[in-house]
Copies of this chain bind each other. A is one copy, B any other.
Amino acid sequence: MATLSDVAKLAGVSTATVSKVLSNTPYFTEETRLKVERAIKELNYSPNLPARALASGRTEIIAVVFPYIYDPLFTDPFVLHMLQGIEAVCHERGYNLLLSTPRLTFEGPDDLYLRLLRSHYLDGMIALDNVPLASVSEPARQRDIPCITIGYHATHHYVRTDDHGGGMQAMQHILDLGHRQIGIISVSDSLNIALNHRLTGMRSAAEARGLNYDAFPTAQGDFSVDSGMAEAAALLAQHPDLTALVCLNDRMAMGAIQYIRSLGKRVPEDISVIGYDDIPTAAGFATPLTTIFNQAPTSGQVAAQLLFDLIEGKPVQSVVLPTQLVSRASTAPVSRES
């Protein structure tokens, strides 16, 4: 496979000149450029990127980091959705995406991940970073790797959606429909900081109506469909009078709906259910799911754009994206006879 030196020989110039033409930096004549480009084409030359990385310190690789914890990472359509936004920007910029899925312990991310951070392979990274246990973006910041955090483990250079506002909208929607017997399906507060913000938003909305939020029965799932079913079962066993369930993600909402159906009850006629995230199957679900849209592809795309600004030394502001109620068929006014 051809090297820069081969191209230089064929074009009749030095390797430095070929390098200048490739990077379009001063100086060379148009005639020289054409000679070099002709040689590149004839030899089907591509730069050896390890050599370039060693010489220049630039790799054209971006790491996308998803901590490997809780509900298996690889069953969450939210992850794919976010990746979609990131991939689109990186492809446009000609960068390669390196996918990293560090396991987290009390001591922090695993060693393979830390070695990646020290490897000199990364021009930058985008990290989904909401697990209370440990931060994956903090070790990158400590090593001066340009890093955009999607989530809460950052004081600057982050993209978030307005989880607090989303929680408020979810609760307000249910309250506006007249519901007061409300169950909440959440997750352990050791799983995801974003969900804590959703909960505080929900609390704000309830207390603004003079309601005792702590009186709402709560169950903790683990994001999965199955856990949504199980926790709906537990909640409704103990509180058969509930007329609404607020679920902190769509998959638990779908599980809850399945369980409710299995009781012979109707959604939303007998019990309303609202989810969160607006994953791709939410709209097309048997009962199209009322949910909070949290802009997964947009946050991926915005994070990538901010990262390239950071890499290029431009000033970067953090971004909080708005959330938005998407009212579909799984919620309805509370029935008068219940």
Contacts and interface: CB of A to CB of B under 8 A. Distances in A.
Q: Is the interface of A mostly helix, strand, loop or mixed?
A: helix
A322 interface: no
Interface string A93-124: 01011111101000000001001101111000
A280 B223 CA distance: 13
Interface in A31-47: 44, 46-47
A281 interface: yes
A316 interface: no
B284 A281 contact: no
B46 A50 contact: no
Nearest to A120: B48
Nearest to A225: B284
A254 interface: yes
A255 B285 CA distance: 8
A123 to B, nearest CB: 12
A101 B91 contact: yes
Given A50-B121, A80-B75, A116 B99 contact: no
Nearest to A229: B284
Contact of A99 (B99, B121, B261): B99
B74 A254 contact: no
Q: Give the interface size bracket for A toward B.
A: 35 or more
A77 interface: yes
Interface stretch (A81-89, A126-134, A161-169, A170-178): A81-89
A84 B72 contact: yes
Contacts of A46: 115, 118-119
A10 interface: no
A19 to B, nearest CB: 16
A54 interface: yes
A178 to B, nearest CB: 26
A211 interface: no
Contacts of A215: none
A324 interface: no
A6 interface: no
Contacts of A255: 284
- Give me the 5 closest cross-chain CB pairs, A-B, nearest first: A74-B84, A46-B118, A50-B53, A225-B284, A49-B119
Given A51-B54, A51-B120, A97-B98, 19 more contacts: A46-B118, A48-B120, A49-B50, A50-B54, A54-B54, A64-B99, A74-B80, A74-B83, A75-B81, A87-B99, A87-B101, A96-B100, A96-B116, A99-B99, A225-B280, A225-B281, A254-B284, A258-B284, A258-B286
24 contacts: A44-B118, A46-B115, A48-B54, A49-B119, A49-B121, A51-B54, A51-B120, A61-B98, A73-B84, A74-B80, A74-B81, A74-B84, A74-B297, A77-B80, A91-B112, A94-B112, A97-B98, A97-B100, A98-B99, A99-B99, A225-B281, A254-B281, A255-B284, A286-B286
